[in-house]
């Protein structure tokens, strides 16, 4: 059974239709890479999934249960928060809380939401920091960390809430090219551990290596989707061919 089903997502900003009938499914443990040209709607799709934007139309199911229906999207604050917890989101700009150390960033939500007792939460946070290779940076503030380190803390922070699906929006796009590797390695490792993930990325090589499934979005529509080998080595449409060509030249 699919862990996530998205059906017919539509979203407009004013007169601009940004998502036009997005459908896809994801199985537990799968990694989905979303690629496509700038302005195609990738970020908007992730934001709709994470309830940071509201799709006007569409249905979303997690583990078979409808958690969003655009036709009847009213929900209480509490329901909204509950639904959000199915997902984790790692932002392009990290968005760590500057006044907290790495470990404090990670335990903040688990402590406030009483996920476990504070001691357990902290132990868990330190374990996660170790997993992202930052055991020695637990007590550093974000301003004392490099971009790559900050992003890894952000990944650990998202993992601390045990989301069913972890989403990334261009996790390496605001990093210097020489340090994207350290973040990509962490994501690769998560993939190897069967973490269910949706990754919006411009790193085609990485998408090909790590994804079980690739979606190519252009102008708010899924133009092609399927196995990474097919998508990258035998693209069907001209649009995807052109896009991949432009990415190679870039």
Partner 1 sequence: MFQEVIIELTVGFGKTLELFVLTLIGSVPLGLVIAFGSMSKIKVLKFISRFFVWVMRGTPLMLQLIIVYYGPGLILNQNIWGMGSNGRLIAVLFAFIINYAAYFSEIYRGGIESISEGQYEAGQVLGLTKKQIFTNIVLLQVVKRIIPPMSNEIITLVKDTSLARVIAVYEVIWMGQAFIKSAGIIWPLFMTGAYYLIFTGILTIIIGKIEEKFEYFN
Residues that bind ligand ATP (CB under 6 A): 13, 16, 18, 36, 38-44
* Spatial separation of the C-alpha atoms in residues 104 and 8, rounded to whole Å: 39
Angle of helix 147-159 versus helix 180-192 axis, rounded to 10:
20
Which one among 8, 73, 95, 225 touches partner 1, defined by CB under 8 A?
95
Q: Which does 10 bind (CB under 5 to 8 A by kind): Mg ion, partner 1, ligand ATP, none?
A: none
Smallest separation, CB 173 to partner 1 (Å): 14
Q: Out of partner 1, ligand ATP, Mg ion, none, which partner does residue 85 contact, by CB within 5 to 8 A per kind?
A: partner 1
Residue 93 binds which entry of partner 1, ligand ATP, Mg ion, none, CB below 5-8 Å type-dependent:
partner 1
User: Least Å distance between CB 95 and Mg ion?
Assistant: 14
Tell me the closest approach of the beta carbon of residue 247 to ligand ATP, in angstroms: 11
Q: Are strands 2-13 and 16-27 parallel, antiparallel or unpaired?
A: antiparallel
41-49, 80-88, 95-103, 122-130 -> range binding Mg ion (CB under 5 A): 41-49
Q: How far apart are CA 85 and CA 36, in angstroms?
A: 27
Minimum distance between the CB of residue 42 and Mg ion, rounded to whole angstroms? 5
From 18, 43, 55, 171, residue interacting with Mg ion (rule: CB under 5 A): 43
Q: How many CB atoms lie within 10 A of CB 178?
A: 8
Q: Which does 142 bind (CB under 5 to 8 A by kind): partner 1, ligand ATP, Mg ion, none?
A: partner 1
- What's the CA angle centered on 110, arms 105 and 113, to 5 degrees? 125
In the region spanning residues 193 to 212, those forming contacts with partner 1, defined by CB under 8 A, are none
Query: Under rule CB under 8 A, which residues in 160-189 are in contact with partner 1?
Result: 161
By the 8 A CB rule, do 196 and 162 touch?
A: no
Which does residue 113 bind out of partner 1, Mg ion, ligand ATP, none, counting CB within 5 to 8 angstroms by kind?
partner 1
Partner whose footprint covers residue 161, from ligand ATP, Mg ion, partner 1, none (CB < 5 to 8 Å by kind): partner 1
């Amino acid at each position: 059974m699919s862990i996530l089903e998205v059906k017919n997502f539509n979203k407009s900003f004013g007169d601009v239709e940004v998502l036009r009938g997005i459908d896809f499914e994801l199985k537990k443990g799968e990694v989905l890479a979303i690629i496509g040209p700038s302005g195609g709607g990738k970020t908007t799709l992730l934001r709709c999934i994470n309830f940071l934007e509201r799709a006007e139309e569409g249905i979303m199911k997690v583990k078979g249960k409808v958690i969003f229906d655009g036709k009847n999207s009213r929900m209480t604050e509490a329901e909204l928060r509950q639904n959000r917890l199915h997902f984790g989101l790692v932002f392009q700009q990290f968005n760590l809380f500057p006044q907290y150390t790495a470990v404090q960033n990670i335990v903040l939500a688990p402590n406030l939401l009483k996920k476990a007792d504070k001691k357990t939460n902290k132990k868990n946070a330190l374990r996660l920091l170790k997993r992202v290779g930052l055991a020695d940076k637990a007590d550093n503030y974000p301003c004392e960390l490099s971009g790559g380190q900050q992003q890894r803390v952000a990944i650990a922070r998202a993992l601390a809430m045990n989301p069913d699906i972890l989403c990334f929006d261009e996790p390496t796009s605001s990093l210097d090219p020489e340090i994207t590797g350290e973040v990509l390695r962490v994501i690769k490792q998560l993939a190897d551990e069967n973490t269910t993930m949706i990754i919006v990325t411009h790193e085609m090589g990485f998408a090909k290596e790590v994804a079980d499934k690739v979606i190519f979005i252009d102008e708010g529509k899924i133009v092609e989707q399927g196995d990474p080998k097919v998508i990258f080595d035998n693209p069907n449409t001209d649009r995807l061919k052109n896009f991949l060509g432009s990415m190679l030249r870039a």
